[in-house]
Amino acid sequence: MKCSWLVTFLLITSMKGALGESASPAPADYRFAPGDVIDVSVTPQKGYDHTITVQPDGKISYPLAGQLQAAGLSVEELAQKLHDSLKRELRDPLVTLSLKELNKQAVRRVSLLGAVRNPGVFEIKDGTGLAEILASGGGPTKEADLRRVTITRADRSVQTVDLAQTGSTGQVQENLPLAPGDTVVVPEGAAPAVLVFGEVTKPGSYEIQGDTRLVQVLSQSGGPTSRADLHQVKLIRSANGGSQLLDLEPLLVKGDASHSDQNVLVHPGDTIVLTETSERVYVMGRVTKPDVYTIKQGDGVLDALAMAGGVAAGGDIGKAMLVRREGTGPPVTTQLDLTKMMAKGKIESNDLLRAGDVLFVPDKKPHRSISEVGSVIWPIVSLMNILH
């Protein structure tokens, strides 16, 4: 049976100037480096035999194939790459490579390729490490994926190094020593990021480096808004699509370090969602800033009044009203004398707020009855619930 294609490779050392008259064949695991001179023979087609040189950027240029990465590849791997490129134009090309001349400096150099500012080949000394080579190449570009930096050794072994913290610390945590013939590749890729949605100041995507916790990402997003429900922060994991609800209120509001276990590590691709809290009250009437306000446990009527900026001119705090719905029944309106409460400096227990309460400060002009106030206010509150 005739094979559809065939790739062969030879390691011919006709390198008088480079290795001397009695040079022995190059090892089978040899990997090309910039400066190497290669003879390429293609059969049965004619006119495709060429002598090419691996350029300083690690690439070769070959007719029909164009620019191909060669540095760091074995003879077999480069022959395969040439074959795959040529078979688009030629039928069953037989590609044979011969190493004509070895780069004299290759034995003391390593190649740095990929998403670095100045890729190329750099001389090394004993003890030269990954940090020095990255510095020689001008450092990574902004498109670099520092989580997957690879070092290909002369024995074809590949080591992957995570340098994700380098961007923030300036220090290479794993400054691995390099050996002659090594090829370091910094790949491109999307920066590791976490998505933040909902009740935060600046929703969006935020980059993370190394070990990053939930509160750090929230800080990057400008922090939760006053409407955020910190008791139920949702974290959706990218790895398995699972989610968990976290209670950050004790940690963020009260500074209770005993709840630090809720400040979990986040991973690239995770999504954080802060929903709007249902613990809201409505402050209406003659106040400086009538609006919907979020309350926390223990907040009372005076707290809500303070959130609304206090009483506006013409407001009658001696006849304020608290409108509250008990269950499914009609709203109940209670008149409050906030003047006395403010004089005491504290709020009695029956004046603590509940979610959905409405505090109404009337005008000093003639008032409606308590029942009339409740019947007018509650439809407005229902509409506000829909709008929010």
Instruction: Give all domains of the chain, ordered by start, each with its CATH number.
Output: 6-104 (3.30.1950.10), 107-186 (3.10.560.10), 193-276 (3.10.560.10), 280-387 (3.10.560.10)
Within 10 angstroms of residue 193's Cβ, the number of other Cβ atoms is 15
pLDDT for residue 346: 53
Q: In whole angstroms, what is the distance from residue 178 CA to residue 129 CA?
A: 5
> How are beta strands 109-114 and 120-123 bridged, if at all?
antiparallel
Chunked into runs of 10 residues, the chain (388 residues) has average pLDDT values of: 39 37 47 83 86 86 88 85 89 85 65 89 84 87 83 84 59 73 87 86 86 93 87 88 88 85 91 86 90 82 90 89 80 83 59 84 72 52 43
- With beta carbons less than 8 A apart as the criterion, state whether 65 and 126 touch: no
pLDDT for residue 5: 35
pTM of the model: 0.42
> How are beta strands 37-43 and 109-114 bridged, if at all?
unpaired
